[in-house]
Copies of this chain bind each other. A is one copy, B any other.
């Protein structure tokens, strides 16, 4: 069995957005009990991560780390058509994930209790982000 669905999220500046519930809803709708759920983001300046879901400081520390690792406006970068956060957003995407693959077990996302699914917006302004969710199994 294959189930595929498209989702659209509005982001409101750089940071992480918890999309675990929306992914769970798609898995439930699929009626697939055992298999693989693939989540894919169709952009090169926003990405997907699995991250600790209890203390929000984890995600702000993560963003602070990335800001230090890939500084906005770094003179190393020649590509800056869309501003100082343009090239850093591409690099942050490459260093994280465009696609997450999660097991489906007993009809649910088989995540650890501390794992949340996050869309990470790397641009500093607002965007519409298109995702697709594909579930294969039985």
| Chain A interfacial positions (CB closer than 8 Å to B) | 2, 4, 34-36, 38, 40-45, 49-52, 55, 57-58, 60-62, 64-65, 68-70, 76-79, 81, 87, 90-91, 93-96, 98-105, 110-112, 114-115, 130, 132, 134, 136-138
CA distance A136 to B136 in the complex (A): 8
Give chain B residues whose Cβ lies under 8 Å from the Cβ of A57.
78-79
- In whole Å, how far is A78's beta carbon from the nearest beta carbon of chain B? 5
Provided the pairs A43-B112, A43-B115 are in contact, do residues A137 and B2 lie with their beta carbons within 8 angstroms? yes
Query: Which chain B residue shows the least CB distance to A65?
Result: B91
State the majority secondary structure of interface residues on A.
mixed
CA distance A101 to B76 in the complex (A): 30
The residue from B52, B87, B112 contacting A42, defined by CB atoms under 8 A apart? B112
The residue from B34, B38, B102 contacting A4, defined by CB atoms under 8 A apart? B34
The residue from B78, B79, B102 contacting A99, defined by CB atoms under 8 A apart? B102
CA distance A87 to B52 in the complex (A): 10
CA distance A41 to B101 in the complex (A): 11
The residue from B55, B94, B105 contacting A51, defined by CB atoms under 8 A apart? B94
CA distance A131 to B40 in the complex (A): 21
Whether B103 pairs with A100 at a CB distance below 8 angstroms is no
